[in-house]
């Protein structure tokens, strides 16, 4: 049994959340640079130029990439040989988010009651935390700073199995077309296929942690990722919706077995400021 103090979780989360908000990861920067080269529209290219300049300013001056520093979405894989001592895991994570906001001058965007008073909690907590117990003696923490504008474009559909592969493509293309410029394209599409209603949405969100543009190891799933990406990029929405060829940077699909009556499909849309980061304790 390995003992990890909860304070280590707090420190790690604080570092990751602050870092995520000012330094866009190399995989996202590389995907943006490629898309800038491929972009057909002059106004689209101009949007890419501003995005790249913003990345430079944010990193150099520690100004958040986006004023929306996001819902702190934290995936934690806990080795089953680990004992966390001290604060509860949720408390440890939330203390880390609070510290990141204070030290990093991040915006607090969370309101306490969703439909009533909507009073700001003042520290950007609680984080949305997904835990998984895995073999081993380590803790892996992955953090997404997920903006509200793109999160609002998420969709769930429970397709009939007869809809099949084409039904999935049609659903995603339609959702992206409806979203238009709202989720700050060029976007990354996270898709969870299978499982159940809630499982597919969690898979969709988790797929956004993947290295941008890295295809699924299953060839059939990878082929679907490529086909959806090509279909979405024919829509013409382009960077920020001003018209162009680069509407999406990547499509990431995760699958899970499901009930014989079901074909659940969850779609999570990530804006171009894809702030993901991870660490292993």
Partner 1 sequence: MSKQINLPLSEADVKELHAGDEVLLTGTIYVARDAAHKRLIEALDKDIPLPFDITGQTIYYMGPSPARPGQISGSAGPTTSGRMDAYTPRLLAVGLRGMIGKGKRSPAVKEAIRQYGAVYFAAVGGIGALLSKVITSSEVIAYAELGAEAVRKLEVKDMPVTVINDIYGGDLYETGKAQYCKQD
105 is a contact residue toward partner 1 (CB under 8 A): yes
Residue 43 interacts with partner 1 (CB under 8 A): yes or no: yes
Verify binding: residue 64, partner 1, rule CB under 8 A: yes
38 makes contact with partner 1 (CB under 8 A): no
Strand ranges (DSSP E) for the chain?
A: 2-5, 71-79, 82-85, 128-134, 139-146, 155-159, 187-195, 248-258, 263-270, 275-280
Instruction: Using the rule CB under 8 A, give the single segment among 56-64, 80-88, 136-144, 201-209 that binds partner 1.
Output: 56-64
CB nearer to partner 1: pick between 185 and 264: 185
Task: Classify 157 as helix, strand or coil.
Answer: strand
Quick one: tokens of 103?
């030290």
Q: Binding marks (x or -) toward partner 1, 116..155, rule CB under 8 A?
A: --x-x-x------------------------xxx--x---
* Torsions phi, psi for 244 (to 5 deg): 165, 180
Please select the residue that binds partner 1; options are 190, 213, 241, 266, rule is CB under 8 A.
241
Q: How many residues does the chain have?
A: 281
Binding residues with partner 1: total (CB under 8 A): 50
Q: Which residue has the tokens 């009533």?
A: 116
**Cα radius of gyration rounded to whole Å, the chain:** 19
CB contact at 8 A, 73 and 144: yes
Contact 80, 134 (CB under 8 A): yes
List interacting residues with partner 1 (CB under 8 A). Answer: 40-41, 43, 46-47, 50-51, 53-54, 57-58, 61-69, 105-109, 118, 120, 122, 147-149, 152, 180-182, 184, 234-238, 240-245, 271-273
């Amino acid at each position: 049994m390995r003992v990890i103090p909860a304070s280590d979780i707090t420190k790690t989360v604080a570092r990751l959340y602050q870092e995520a908000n000012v330094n866009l990861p190399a995989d996202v920067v590389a995907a943006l640079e490629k898309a800038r080269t491929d972009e057909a529209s002059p106004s689209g290219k101009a949007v890419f130029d501003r995005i790249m300049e913003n990345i430079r300013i944010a990193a150099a001056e520690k100004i958040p990439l986006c004023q929306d520093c996001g819902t702190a979405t934290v995936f934690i894989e806990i080795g089953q040989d680990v004992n966390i001592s001290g604060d509860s895991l949720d408390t440890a994570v939330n203390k880390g988010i609070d510290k990141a906001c204070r030290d990093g001058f991040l915006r607090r965007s969370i309101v306490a009651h969703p439909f009533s008073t909507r009073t700001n909690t003042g520290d950007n907590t609680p984080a949305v935390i997904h835990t998984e117990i895995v073999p081993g003696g380590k803790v892996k923490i992955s953090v997404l700073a997920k903006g509200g504008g793109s999160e609002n474009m998420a969709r769930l559909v429970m397709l009939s199995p007869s809809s099949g592969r084409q039904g999935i493509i049609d659903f995603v293309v339609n959702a992206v077309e409806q979203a238009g410029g709202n989720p700050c394209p060029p976007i990354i599409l996270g898709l969870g296929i299978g499982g159940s209603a809630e499982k597919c949405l969690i898979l969709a969100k988790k797929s956004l942690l993947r290295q941008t543009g890295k295809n699924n190891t299953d060839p059939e799933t990878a082929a679907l990722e490529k086909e959806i990406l090509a279909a979405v990029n024919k829509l013409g929405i382009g960077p920020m919706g001003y018209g162009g060829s680069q509407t999406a940077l990547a499509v990431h699909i995760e699958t899970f077995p499901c009930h014989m009556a079901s074909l659940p499909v969850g779609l999570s849309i990530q804006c171009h400021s894809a702030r993901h980061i991870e660490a292993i304790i």
